Amino acid sequence: MKRLLPLLLLSATAFAADNSGVWTISGDIQGYDLAESCTFTQTADKIAGPCKIEGTTRDTTGTIDGKKITFSQPGEYNGQALTLTFTGFMDDKGVFHGSVDVQPLNVTGTFALKKEELKP
């Protein structure tokens, strides 16, 4: 039991950080700039909230597991419905970096997700 206690404490603290708040996504998908503002709410390891891009709001859902994040949102390109799936890892500055998979177009890109600082 003494050996399990540190592991149990470690897994409990992995979800202790509250990542709720306003986040900014920047990136590139096949030469198209990606710039969104998202307002996430976190419950346990789940995140959800609206992301806004060029006046359009997209409902976004995902998970945070320690330093790994995965989330998806609907999209559209030339009238075709898409699903964008973001997968990344947090660096030592608290910024997530990773890849974006766009289906059914089978294209990929990169992104950075950074939490906006609260202004006093």
Tell me the whole-structure pTM to 2 decimals: 0.83
Q: Which residues pair with 23 in a beta bridge?
A: 38, 115
pLDDT tens digit string along 49-81? 999 998 899 999 999 998 999 999 999 888 999
Q: Are 39 and 49 in contact (CB under 8 A)?
A: yes
Can you tell me the distance from the alpha carbon of 89 to that of 100, in angstroms, rounded to the nearest whole number?
12
Q: For the beta carbon of residue 94, count every other beta carbon within 10 angstroms.
A: 12
Q: Which domains does the chain have, with CATH numbers?
A: 4-115 (2.40.128.120)
Tell me, what amino acid is at 109? G
pLDDT tens digit string along 5-58? 444 444 343 444 788 999 999 999 999 999 999 999 999 999 999 999 988 999
